[in-house]
C-alpha cells in the first residue's frame, strides 16, 4: 500500500520532493523502519531511469495546442485584436463617388454603423457621406437614428473611427444645414473636446467639422445652442465655443443681428475677453470687431449712407463708443473699446504710411 502511494506521488514531482524531504527528516529523529525510505529511493531511481518521453510531450504539446487553438479574442477582427493592420482610407468629400446600389446600402446602414467591427463601421460612415452628397433626400429619413451612432463613433477611442466620424459630421452639416439643429446637442460637446485634443489629425478633422457647422447652419439657429458652452467649466470647451460663436456671427445679416440683439452679443464678447485661455480672448476680439462693423453699417444705413466703408455721420446716430458705454459696465466697455479702437488705429496708421511712401515716390 505504501509503495502504491509512493508511485502516485511520483506523478507530482514537486509534491514528491517535499514529502521525501519531510519523511527523511522524520526518519532521522525516530525509529521508523528504513523500508519507507528504501521504497521512495527505489521509486525515484526507477523514475529517473525512465525515458523522458511523457514529460517532453507535455512540454511540447502545450505550445502546439496553443498555436492550433482559436484565438483568445474570437472576434479578433471586430475587436481590433488582429485588425490593427487594416488600412482605412480617409477620402476627401470631393473625391467621394456615388454608390452603385444606394437602396441596399441604406438597408444595412444602421446595423453596420453599430457593428463591433471597426473597419465595417468606417465603411458605413463613408457610406453616410456618400448618401449625404448623392442621395440627400433618401438619407434624411434615417437622420434621427443615425446621429446617435455617429456620436458613438466620434467617441470611439480608435482614432480611425473617430476621424472618419468627424469627416461625416462635416458632410452632413453641409448637406442638411438647419435641419441638423434639433440633433446637434449631443454632437457639440464631442466636437469641442475632439478639436482640443493632442492628436493633430483628429483635432484638424474636428475643427473642419466645426467650421462646416458654422458655415451651413444659420446663426439664428446655431448661436442659442452654442451659447451655454461659453460658460462651461472646461476652459477648452469654452475656447472652442467662443471660436464657433465668433465664426457664426458674420453670417448674420444686419436685420438678423438686430433681431438676435446687438447688446446681447456685445455683452458676450466682453465676457469672453477676460477668459483665461488666449484662444477664447482672440475669438472675443474678432467678435468685437465684427459687431463694431455691423453696428456702424447699420447706423450708416439708417442715416441714409450707402457706402459700406463710411461710418455714420448723422448727428442723431449713436456712436459705437456711446453704445458700448450704455450697454456694458465701465470696465467691460473699456475692454471692448480698447480692442476696437486699437485695431482701427493700427489700420489708420498703415494707410497713412502707405500714402506717405507713395507721395515720396511721386516727389522723387
Whether residue 154 lies inside any domain: the answer is yes
| Same domain for 301 and 249 | yes
| Same domain for 199 and 254 | no
| Same domain for 178 and 105 | yes
| Same domain for 257 and 157 | no
> What local confidence, expressed as pLDDT, does residue 349 receive?
39
For 22, the domain range is 1-27
Task: Tally the domains of the chain.
Answer: 3
User: C-alpha 271: how far from its chain's center?
Assistant: 27
| Same domain for 242 and 156 | no
Whether residue 68 lies inside any domain: the answer is no
User: C-alpha 299: how far from its chain's center?
Assistant: 42
Distant-in-sequence, close-in-space partners of 107: CB < 8 Å, separation ≥ 6 = none
| Same domain for 253 and 199 | no
Assign 151 to helix, strand or coil. Answer: helix
> What local confidence, expressed as pLDDT, does residue 80 receive?
35
CATH number at residue 108: 1.25.10.10
| Same domain for 164 and 238 | no
Q: Using an 8 Å Cβ cutoff, are 133 and 175 in contact?
A: yes
Q: Using an 8 Å Cβ cutoff, are 128 and 93 in contact?
A: no
| Same domain for 334 and 249 | yes
Whether residue 43 lies inside any domain: the answer is no
Report residue 286 as a C-alpha cell.
474678432
Whether residue 49 lies inside any domain: the answer is no
Phi, psi of 51 (to 5 degrees): -65, 150
Whether residue 64 lies inside any domain: the answer is no
| Same domain for 138 and 115 | yes
Q: Using an 8 Å Cβ cutoff, are 35 and 1 in contact?
A: no
Q: What is the dihedral angle through the alpha carbons of 159, 164, 167, 172, rounded to the nearest 10 degrees?
A: -130
| Same domain for 161 and 190 | yes
Whether residue 213 lies inside any domain: the answer is yes
Whether residue 223 lies inside any domain: the answer is no
Helices (H) and strands (E) in the chain, counts: 19, 0
| Same domain for 308 and 199 | no
Q: Using an 8 Å Cβ cutoff, are 192 and 225 in contact?
A: no
Tens place of pLDDT per residue across the chain (364 aa):
555 565 655 566 555 565 655 555 554 544 444 554 455 454 444 444 444 444 333 332 233 323 333 333 333 333 333 334 356 789 999 999 999 999 999 999 999 999 999 999 999 999 999 999 999 999 999 999 999 999 999 999 999 999 999 999 999 999 999 999 999 999 999 999 999 988 899 999 999 999 999 999 999 999 999 999 999 999 999 999 999 999 999 999 888 898 999 999 999 999 999 999 999 999 999 999 999 999 998 888 766 554 545 444 455 568 999 999 999 999 999 999 999 987 555 444 343 444 444 444 434 3
Domain boundary among 149, 184, 217: 217
Q: Using an 8 Å Cβ cutoff, are 176 and 141 in contact?
A: no
**Residues present in the chain in total:** 364
Q: Residue for cell digits 502511494?
A: 5
Phi, psi of 107 (to 5 degrees): -65, -30
> What local confidence, expressed as pLDDT, does residue 346 receive?
47
User: C-alpha 7: how far from its chain's center?
Assistant: 65
Please give the Cα distance from 79 to 328 (Å, whole number).
Answer: 55
| Same domain for 245 and 329 | yes
Domain boundary among 158, 185, 217: 217
Whether residue 340 lies inside any domain: the answer is yes
End-to-end CA gap in the chain: 126
Amino acid at each position: 500500500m505504501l509503495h502504491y502511494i509512493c508511485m502516485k506521488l511520483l506523478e507530482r514531482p514537486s509534491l514528491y520532493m517535499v514529502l521525501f524531504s519531510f519523511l527523511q527528516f522524520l526518519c532521522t529523529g525516530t525509529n521508523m523502519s528504513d523500508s519507507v525510505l528504501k521504497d521512495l529511493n527505489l521509486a525515484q531511481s526507477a523514475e529517473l531511469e525512465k525515458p523522458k518521453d511523457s514529460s517532453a510531450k507535455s512540454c511540447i504539446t502545450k505550445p502546439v495546442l496553443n498555436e492550433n487553438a482559436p484565438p483568445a479574442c474570437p472576434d479578433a477582427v471586430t475587436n481590433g485584436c488582429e485588425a490593427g493592420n487594416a488600412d482605412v482610407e480617409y477620402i476627401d468629400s470631393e473625391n467621394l463617388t456615388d454608390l452603385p446600389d444606394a437602396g441596399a446600402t441604406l438597408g444595412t446602414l444602421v446595423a453596420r454603423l453599430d457593428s463591433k467591427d471597426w473597419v465595417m463601421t468606417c465603411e458605413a460612415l463613408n457610406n453616410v457621406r456618400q448618401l449625404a452628397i448623392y442621395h440627400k433626400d433618401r438619407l434624411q429619413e434615417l437622420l434621427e437614428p443615425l446621429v446617435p451612432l455617429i456620436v458613438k463613433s466620434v467617441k470611439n477611442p480608435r482614432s480611425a473611427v473617430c476621424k472618419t466620424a468627424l469627416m461625416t459630421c462635416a458632410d452632413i452639416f453641409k448637406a442638411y444645414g438647419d435641419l441638423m439643429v434639433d440633433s446637434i446637442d449631443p454632437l457639440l460637446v464631442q466636437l469641442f473636446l475632439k478639436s482640443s485634443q493632442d492628436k493633430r489629425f483628429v483635432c484638424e478633422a474636428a475643427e473642419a467639422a466645426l467650421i462646416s457647422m458654422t458655415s451651413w447652419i444659420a446663426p439664428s439657429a446655431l448661436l442659442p445652442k452654442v451659447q451655454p458652452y461659453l460658460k462651461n467649466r472646461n476652459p477648452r470647451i469654452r475656447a472652442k465655443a467662443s471660436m464657433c460663436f465668433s465664426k457664426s456671427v458674420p453670417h448674420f445679416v444686419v436685420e438678423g443681428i438686430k433681431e438676435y440683439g446687438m447688446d446681447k452679443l456685445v455683452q458676450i464678447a466682453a465676457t469672453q475677453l477676460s477668459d483665461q485661455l488666449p484662444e477664447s480672448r482672440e475669438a472675443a476680439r474678432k467678435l468685437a470687431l465684427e459687431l463694431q462693423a455691423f453696428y456702424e453699417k447699420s447706423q450708416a444705413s439708417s442715416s441714409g449712407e450707402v457706402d459700406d466703408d463710411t461710418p455714420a455721420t448723422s448727428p442723431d446716430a449713436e456712436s459705437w463708443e456711446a453704445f458700448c458705454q450704455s450697454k456694458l459696465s465701465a470696465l467691460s466697455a473699456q475692454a471692448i473699446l480698447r480692442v476696437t479702437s486699437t485695431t482701427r488705429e493700427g489700420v489708420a496708421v498703415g494707410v497713412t504710411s502707405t500714402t506717405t511712401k507713395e507721395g515720396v515716390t511721386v516727389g522723387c
